[in-house]
Structure 1
Amino acid sequence: MNNHFKEITLQSTGAKEMSVHEEIQSLWSGYGSIVRIDLKGSELKSVVAKHVKMPNNNKHPRGWNTDFSHQRKVRSYEVETYWYKKYATMCDEYCKVPECLAVEQRGSEVFMVMEDLDASGFGRRLSSVEWKHIETCLKWLANFHATFLNVNPQGLWPVGTYWHLDTRPDELKVIEDVELKNSASAIDCVLNNAKYQTFVHGDAKLANFCFSNDGEKVAAVDFQYVGGGCGMKDVAYFVGSCLYEEDCERLESEILNCYFLELSAALSRMNKHVDFEGLENEWRALYYYAWTDFHRFLKGWSPGHWKINDYSEKVSREIIQQLKK
Structure 2
Amino acid sequence: MKQEYQDLILEATSAASLQIGGKIQTLWSGYGQIVRVHLQGGERESVVVKHVEFPKDCSDTDLSHQRKVRSYQVETHWYQNYSTNEHCRIPECLAARSFGDEQLMVLEDLDAAGFPGRRTSVREAEIKACLRWLANFHGLFLGSPARALWPVGTYWHLQTRPDELEAMADRKLRAAAPEIDAVLNRCQFKTVVHGDAKLANFCFSEDGTRVAAVDFQYVGGGCGMKDVIYFLGSCLDERECEKRADRYLDFYFSELRGALKERVNFSELENEWRELYSFAWTDFHRFLLGWMPGHHKINRYSRRLTQEVLQKLRQRSDGAKR
What TM-score do the two structures reach when normalised by structure 2?
0.96
User: How high is the sequence identity, in percent, across the aligned residues?
Assistant: 57
Match of 1:69 in 2: 64
Match of 1:62 in 2: none
2:211 equivalent to 1:218: yes
SS of residue in 2 equivalent to 1:24 = strand
2:130 equivalent to 1:137: yes
Deviation at 1:136, TM superposition (A): 0.3
Find the aligned partners of 1:11 and 1:86 in 2 and give their Cα distance: 19
**From 276, 299, 322, the counterpart of 1:286:** 276
Find the aligned partners of 2:220 and 2:269 in 1 and give their Cα distance: 19
Match of 2:289 in 1: 299
Q: How does 1:21-170 map to 2 (within 5 A)?
A: 21-57=21-57, 67-87=62-82, 89=83, 91-170=84-163
Whether the aligned pair in 1 keeps the contact of 2:232 and 2:245 (CA below 8 Å) is no
Deviation at 1:57, TM superposition (A): 2.9
Whether the aligned pair in 1 keeps the contact of 2:153 and 2:194 (CA below 8 Å) is yes
Misfit runs of 4+, over 2 Å:
none
Q: Count the aligned residue pairs.
A: 315
Find the aligned partners of 2:50 and 2:61 in 1 and give their Cα distance: 24
Letter in 2 for 1:163: W
Letter in 2 for 1:75: R
Match of 1:190 in 2: 183
SS of residue in 2 equivalent to 1:19 = strand
**From 267, 271, 280, the counterpart of 1:277:** 267
Deviations 1:127-182 (A, max 9, x none): 00111111000000000000100000010000000001000001110000111111
* Runs of 5+ consecutive residues of structure 2 not aligned to the other structure: 316-322
Letter in 2 for 1:288: S
Whether the aligned pair in 1 keeps the contact of 2:116 and 2:206 (CA below 8 Å) is yes
RMSD across aligned C-alpha pairs, in angstroms?
Answer: 1.3
Find the aligned partners of 2:147 and 2:90 in 1 and give their Cα distance: 19
Deviations 1:208-267 (A, max 9, x none): 000001001000000000000000000000000000111111112211110000001011
What TM-score do the two structures reach when normalised by structure 1?
0.95
Find the aligned partners of 2:24 and 2:108 in 1 and give their Cα distance: 14
Letter in 2 for 1:80: E
Deviation at 1:108, TM superposition (A): 1.2
Task: Give the stretch that moved more between structures: 248-257 or 308-317.
Answer: 248-257
Find the aligned partners of 2:7 and 2:242 in 1 and give their Cα distance: 51
Deviations 1:185-225 (A, max 9, x none): 00000000000000000000000000001001000000000
* Runs of 5+ consecutive residues of structure 1 not aligned to the other structure: 59-64
Find the aligned partners of 1:142 and 1:280 in 2 and give their Cα distance: 12
SS of residue in 2 equivalent to 1:253 = helix
